[in-house]
Amino acid sequence: MRYFIEIAYNGTLYCGWQRQPNALSVQQVLEEAMSVFLRTPITVFAAGRTDAGVHARQLFAHFDFAELENIPETLYRINALLPSDISISSIKKVTDQAHARFNATTRSYEYQIQLSKNPFTTTLAHQIHKKPDLLLMNKAASMLLGRQDFQCFSRSNTQVNTFFCDVTMARWELQGSTLLFSITADRFLRNMVRAIVGTLLNVGFEKTSLEELSVIIDSKDRSSAGSSAPAKGLYLTKVSYPQDIFIT
């Protein structure tokens, strides 16, 4: 039987989602807890990989197991074995062919920026001391919409089949003293959202014009775009799937 698990985590203390030989990852901690409770080695396959220090409010992963007799009890027991910065909110049966990565239709991220000092978000948001031009940044964000080549925002030397992504939503909002960037696409490249945020902040501070942003996108050159925003402000917030893969 195949199951999807819905995971959330604070990524501050981890090297990212994926297992690493010499650093602690979210995947490692989760697999070890699940293996202890289920009394068999468990491997989970996630919808995507977050980098070191990046958080997730919703990430799905799948695993195979003979049969879970009591899903609510399983959920409770595994959560009891997990540290306070990782949690599982649901376990759902899916079809045998369902895949957390390949069946995902869209992914959404948020980036949080604090415009004033906040002791409660020191490790959970980026802080800046001057408010950028929100109107300019939203004009810039609108230039990201649609299917296009985003190589200029991809980490250098990334091995992928294509740099094309279909962005369906990208916008900035001011919520009190929090500046929030939201973006949804069918897929994301490594470091893509943080590179976009850094570049759009340059637009907001009038270091980069809208015309220059267009040239940057066309250049397919990472060095022409802005610096990546810090990892601590980035959250994976939603992963969507077709409903027919879930077994009710």
Q: Let me know: does 152 contact 224? Beta carbons within 8 Å.
A: yes
Q: Alpha-carbon distance 18 to 30, whole Å? A: 11
Q: Let me know: does 88 contact 28? Beta carbons within 8 Å.
A: no
For the chain, give the DSSP string.
Answer: -EEEEEEEE--TTSSBSS-BTTB--HHHHHHHHHHHHHTS----EES---BTT-EEEEEEEEEE-S--S-HHHHHHHHHHHS-TTEEEEEEEEE-TT--TTTT--EEEEEEEEESS--TTSTTTSEE-SS---HHHHHHHHHTT-EEEE-GGGSPTT---S--EEEEEEEEEEEETTEEEEEEEES---TTHHHHHHHHHHHHHTTSS-HHHHHHHHHHT-GGGSPPPPPGGGEEEEEEE--GGGB--
Q: Which of 51, 133, 149, 166 is catalytic?
A: 51
218 is catalytic: no
Of 225, 128, 223, the closest CA to residue 181 belongs to: 128
- Return the residue matching tokens 């270091």: 207
Catalytic residue annotation: 51
